[in-house]
Chains A and B, each alone.
Chain A
Amino acid sequence: EAQVTQNPRYLITVTGKKLTVTCSQNMNHEYMSWYRQDPGLGLRQIYYSMNVEVTDKGDVPEGYKVSRKEKRNFPLILESPSPNQTSLYFCASSRGHSNQPQHFGDGTRLSIL
C-alpha cells in the first residue's frame, strides 16, 4: 500500500531535549516536505527536498533541521525544542515537485513543555 509513515505519532517532551521525527515513503517520490499545522494559521511549510541531498527552507524553518540521505526518508530534527514548536506536524511526498498532488502522513503531535 502506498503510504507516508511518520513516527512517533505523539510525543511529549521538555525544552532543549533534542528529538527527531522520522518520515518514510514507499512511492519512490522525489519531492518531500514538512509542514506544521496550527489553529488559525493553517499549514505552513517548514522544509522541503526536491531529491536526495537537495533540501531547502520553507516558510518557517527556524529551529528545525532536515536531511535527505536516501530517497525514501526525510527526518525532521529539533535540536533544542522550545514550547513554540508545540504543534501538529505533517510529512508529505509527491512525484516531481510540490505542484503535484501531495501524499500526507497521519501526523505527529508534539508537545514541548
Chain B
Amino acid sequence: SQQGEEDPQALSIQEGENATMNCSYKTSINNLQWYRQNSGRGLVHLILIRSNEREKHSGRLRVTLDTSKKSSSLLITASRAADTASYFCATGLLIYNQGGKLIFGQGTELSVKP
C-alpha cells in the first residue's frame, strides 16, 4: 500500500457540520502537508505541519500530527458548500542527494450539502 493513505475515501455532510479526514503513513517524515483540489483544477496548498509539531491551525482548519502512530487528521469546522472538494495529504520525506520527496495520498472526496 502507499505511503499516505486517507480515510474515508468519501465523506458527505451538511453545511455547518465539521468534517474530519485522516491520513496514515509508513515511514519517518520531515513534514506533512494537506492540499485541496476543486473539480477540474490544480491542487492548492492548505497547511504544512512539521514532524516536531503536534497541532496547527489556519482559519477553520485544524491539523494534528501523531508521529508515534504515523497519522494525521484534518478537521474543517463549520463547513460550507464551497468546501466541497477532494483533500489530499502529502508526506514530505528527506532523501539524501535529492533534497526531498513529496508523496501524495489518494485523497478524500468531501461533499458539503447546503
A43 to B106, CA, bound (A): 7
Chain A: interface size category? 20 to 34
Chain B: interface size category? 20 to 34
A92 to B102, CA, bound (A): 12
Does A75 belong to the interface (CB within 8 Å)? no
Does B64 belong to the interface (CB within 8 Å)? no
Q: B99 contacts A99, CB within 8 Å?
A: yes
Which of A11-19, A76-84, A100-108 contacts the other chain? A100-108
A49 to B43, CA, bound (A): 19
Q: Which of A45-99 contact B (CB under 8 A)?
A: 45, 50, 56, 90, 92, 96-99
By a beta-carbon cutoff of 8 Å, the part of chain B in contact with chain A is: 2, 30-31, 33, 35, 40-45, 48, 88, 90, 92-94, 98-102, 104-107
